[in-house]
Chains A and B, each alone.
Chain A
Amino acid sequence: MSLPLDRLVARKSGACVPIAFRIALKLDQVSWDEACEDVGLAVFALRNAQKMFKADGLVNWFDTWLEAEACGAKITRGPLGDVTSAAPPTALPDAAAFTIAPPIARAADIARRLVAETREDSTVIGYLTGPATLLKHLNIDETQRAVDYSLALVKLYGEAGVGALLFAEEEAPARPFDAVANLAGYYNLPMLLAARGGVTPEQAKALGYRVESRLRISGWEIAPDTAPDSLIGAA
């Protein structure tokens, strides 16, 4: 089991969790393709960055096209996975096929490995794309399929033993789907929010996300080209 979020924030000094996915890959000279092909190498890079930043927690993945790509979206990426072009999926798979699609299986495997390797000295946080962004990237209005995908991912993370969930929103943040919130509650996984456009603690709380004054989590992913001197500020 990864350290539950409540125990993490109960630490004397509070907790700091920078979202440092791509910068971790960069620091270890692991390309996006390598990380996708070799899950062990991705875990290695994430853990090294965690140690270097002395982070109290780490996010297993960070890519708002994760679920859409698993559904067949055509994505073109740069060396560190930054999306240069994307075409939404044309036909959506069912939840069972979604679960075993390589991007999802990979994210879940990384979460499982991080939990097994870091044991109780840090919190592993499972990544999900927030509901508003997910609907947009899937290019659908009807929510049920998006709910199914998020439920499948929460289940994988819950069984992997992560300590919390992080929802990333490129769009204006929306409330998590009710069923997803219920399932997260079943696994006792607090839901955290990262919004590219920024969000106040009050807004996040009003939407149903957990806000902890003793938890410092970066608002969005730290850019991989951030200069060392600016890392602390960026985090």
Chain B
Amino acid sequence: MGKLFDQHAHLFPGFVYEKDAYGKRAGCDPDLICHGLEPITDIEREGMAGLSDIDVDLIEHKLSSIVEEARDVYMALSISEGIITGDMNCGLFTASGDPVVVGTGIYFHTLLNNAQLKYINKYYVDDPTVGLADGDIFFFNEELAGGVHNLDMFSAMPIFYQGKLLAWAEVGGHQGETGSITPGGFAPTAKSRYEEGIHIPCMRIGRNFQLSRDVLDFMTGSVRNPFVFEADLKSRVATLFQIRNRFVREVERRGVAPVVGAMRKILIKGEANARTRLRSINDGIFRHVLFNDEHGTFFGLTRIPVTVFKEDDTLTVLLQGVSPESGDGPFNSSWHLTRAATAVYLFSYFFRGLLPANAGLLEPVRYLVEGPSIMNSTDEIAHGLANQTCAFATQNLYMVGAKMLYASPHREAVQAPQSRNYSLPIFAGINRRNYFAANFTGTTNAGGGGGRYDMDGEHALGFYWGPWTDAGEVEEHDERLSPIILARHLDKNFHGYGKYRGGTPLLEVTTVCADGCRMSSWGSCDKVTFNFGLFGGYAGPPNPRFVIRDSDLFAQIKAGKELSLGQYALLTERSLKGKYEVTSSSKDAAPFRPGDLIVHSVGASGGYGDVLERDPALVVKDLTDGLITQDVALKIYRVAINPQTGLVDQKKTEQLRTAARKERLRKGKNFDQFIASWRKLSPPKDILHHYGHWPEPRLPKYDKPFWGLYG
């Protein structure tokens, strides 16, 4: 470790830090997950020796083209909402199992689902009851084997050439339904893995380029949506064939050694690029903390702090003082997931431009994730919403990274976090194509982007885990799922304010036209936001679940009334009659009936900088764009706008802003005063059940004012 780390970090005894907090189990070997790139093979070494940089670039372009084509083919062939809209990944891996190039909608998957290939290499190849041959097809969805959660289903195929294993092709994505206790795979009430449906660590499902019918029958018989399951599995396999054929063609033209040598060089190049970037950033220790407010279906506080040590060309990411894991709900992450989640920030912002995004880029980054904890949990508990939990680390890293990059040549990547204030409904029922479907809509891929150091955040930017996603077409969702989408739009007063405001999400309003639709939902940040503002910007607002039961919607439509279906309008004007429910995001499945209204989004992002520095002209534009109300213009931005002319009263605005600054100074306390009063505060005891010891979850009686100073 570096000097800074050695001087300032103190790891607690009795915890696991550098690997998953569970031992080897059937089909899963945590040691394979955490040990980084495999050693260079002889054939790779031979190939590398004969390659120029231009050769490597050319082969990289070719291999990238193969997986990008695969991505588009896979998305076009699939019928699951998640995959169609980009929550998927197609990759080419070395024969040893390291990811080299990926065609993806999201970075999240890029660093996952490779330990399964290593497992096959280590345990199955020489096992006479399994073995490995050209034309084999494997399936895996077990999070403990190196995946996200079992809703993400992957298939892989070895690529042989003249009898020798040269590479692996892998395709997969968020298929959803798993046979869990809640339709759609997300089971907010699950307390153990055994309530979350099928978990397959790594299983051969086909030989000689053909799926085995008996295995397929077992799998489709384990889920509620056999038609979707089989169709998506076949689309994955078709895509694998495509990758394999293209890759073999490339080998035939260029030879074995140059291609596999280039694959290794691509990995090495990634690592070298990352180290160069790191050297251009100041050394230091950077911290941020996040509090989560929900566990499954009930409120409760947990803490997730992140400390980053930047020293020379290395980064050490330390998650310590994390709340204990929870056996009462599925909000539990793993070491490998926490690592992969932070890569989303690193690849998109911190290492921006250093492509291709692959395992090499993370070689200089060391991950120490305290376990067992909610960020690095044991194996028997539920993990289905680990995708929300691991995002806590990512949100923290956005904040830490912004501090690091601001004083570097890479300031253009400084941005408040992308929205993670999820409240996501899962609709289950017979769709208009007459088959059972259980999934979310593409609105998931339309979260607000954070305010940037030089401009406003993007509205409806994309999926949290990666930008190359799509919100899908409303009409297609209406066909593939059982409810009907009434409206999608950008809502009022629903973003973080700032010198540069955060982006607002696509808000979707959905109803049901006939009985038979059930809806569950999941999320957190119902009271405490995850979408921090940056350098004085306001945070994106919390995002609880909002439902109107038994509304008179259809009666009003029949009467020809004009309806404002925005969240802000509905909540402030109450123009629909019905039972308004604003609750915790995570709820078990319940029937929804015609006229019930679900108003949802994945939340808005925080702003950048002081609201008093926002250009009044931009405030007027927000007003005319319907993004804010007069109230916000006056009370938050302190901009005086003539309601008749819509023009800014510059003089009055300056007076208002000067007064606001004076008021701030009047209310201000020095640090010692603030911390003295702050330390007397504590949350109500009934929300600390899962927190650990207050204020330091891991150290009873520890009373230093800030976490992370354990000297």
Contact = CB atoms under 8 A, between A and B. Distances in A.
Contacts of B76: 116-117
Contact of A47 (B61, B69, B242): B69
Contacts of A44: 65, 69, 246
B253 A29 contact: yes
Contacts of B65: 44, 47-48, 51
A119 interface: yes
B232 interface: no
Interface string A128-158: 0000000000000000000000000000000
Interface string B50-88: 000000000001000100110011011000000000000
B470 interface: yes
Contacts of A52: 61
Contacts of B470: 119-120
Contacts of B253: 29
A118 interface: yes
A208 interface: no
Given A29-B253, A44-B246, A51-B68, A117 B73 contact: yes
B249 to A, nearest CB: 8
A40 B76 CA distance: 14
Given A47-B65, A48-B65, A52-B61, A117 B242 contact: no
Interface residues of A, number: 13
A42 to B, nearest CB: 12
Contacts of A47: 65, 68-69, 72
A86 B246 CA distance: 33
Interface in A74-127: 116-120
A43 B65 CA distance: 11
Q: Looking at B73, B75, B253, which has the most chain A CB atoms within 10 Å of its CB?
A: B73
Contacts, number: 26
Contacts of A119: 72, 75, 470
A118 B73 CA distance: 10
A52 B75 CA distance: 22
Contacts of B73: 117
Contacts of A118: 72
A118 to B, nearest CB: 7
Q: Looking at A47, A48, A51, A119, which has the most chain B CB atoms within 10 Å of its CB?
A: A48
A47 B61 CA distance: 12
Q: Looking at B75, B76, B470, which has the most chain A CB atoms within 10 Å of its CB?
A: B76
A120 B69 CA distance: 15
Nearest to A115: B76
Contacts of A120: 470
B463 to A, nearest CB: 15
Interface string A152-180: 00000000000000000000000000000
Contacts of A29: 253
B69 A117 contact: yes
Contacts of A51: 65, 68
A118 B69 CA distance: 9
Interface in A12-58: 29, 40, 43-44, 47-48, 51-52
Interface string B193-227: 00000000000000000000000000000000000
Contacts of B75: 119
Nearest to A116: B76
B68 A40 contact: no
B290 to A, nearest CB: 34
Contacts of A48: 61, 65
A45 B68 CA distance: 12
Interface string B544-563: 00000000000000000000
A47 B72 CA distance: 11
A96 B73 CA distance: 29
Nearest to B76: A116
A44 B243 CA distance: 11
Given A29-B253, A51-B65, A119-B470, A40 B242 contact: yes
Nearest to B250: A29
B404 to A, nearest CB: 31
Contacts of B69: 43-44, 47, 117
Interface string B226-254: 00000000000000001000100000010
Nearest to A48: B65
B92 to A, nearest CB: 15
A210 B312 CA distance: 58
A89 B246 CA distance: 36
A117 B61 contact: no
A9 B104 CA distance: 27
Interface in B245-291: 246, 253
B458 to A, nearest CB: 15
A198 B134 CA distance: 53
A47 B62 CA distance: 12
A120 B72 CA distance: 12
A119 B473 CA distance: 12
Nearest to A52: B61
A40 B65 CA distance: 13
B246 A117 contact: no
B68 to A, nearest CB: 7
Nearest to B473: A1
Nearest to B242: A40
B695 to A, nearest CB: 49
Nearest to B66: A44
Q: Looking at B72, B76, B242, B470, which has the most chain A CB atoms within 10 Å of its CB?
A: B72
B9 to A, nearest CB: 44
B102 to A, nearest CB: 15
Nearest to A120: B470
18 contacts: A29-B253, A40-B242, A43-B69, A44-B65, A47-B68, A47-B69, A48-B61, A48-B65, A51-B68, A52-B61, A116-B72, A116-B76, A117-B72, A117-B76, A118-B72, A119-B72, A119-B75, A119-B470
What 10 pairs across the A-B complex have the smallest Cβ distances? A117-B72, A116-B76, A48-B65, A44-B69, A117-B76, A29-B253, A47-B69, A117-B73, A44-B246, A51-B65
Given A40-B242, A44-B246, A51-B68, 19 more contacts: A29-B253, A43-B69, A44-B65, A44-B69, A47-B65, A47-B68, A47-B69, A47-B72, A48-B65, A51-B65, A117-B69, A117-B72, A117-B73, A117-B76, A118-B72, A119-B72, A119-B75, A119-B470, A120-B470
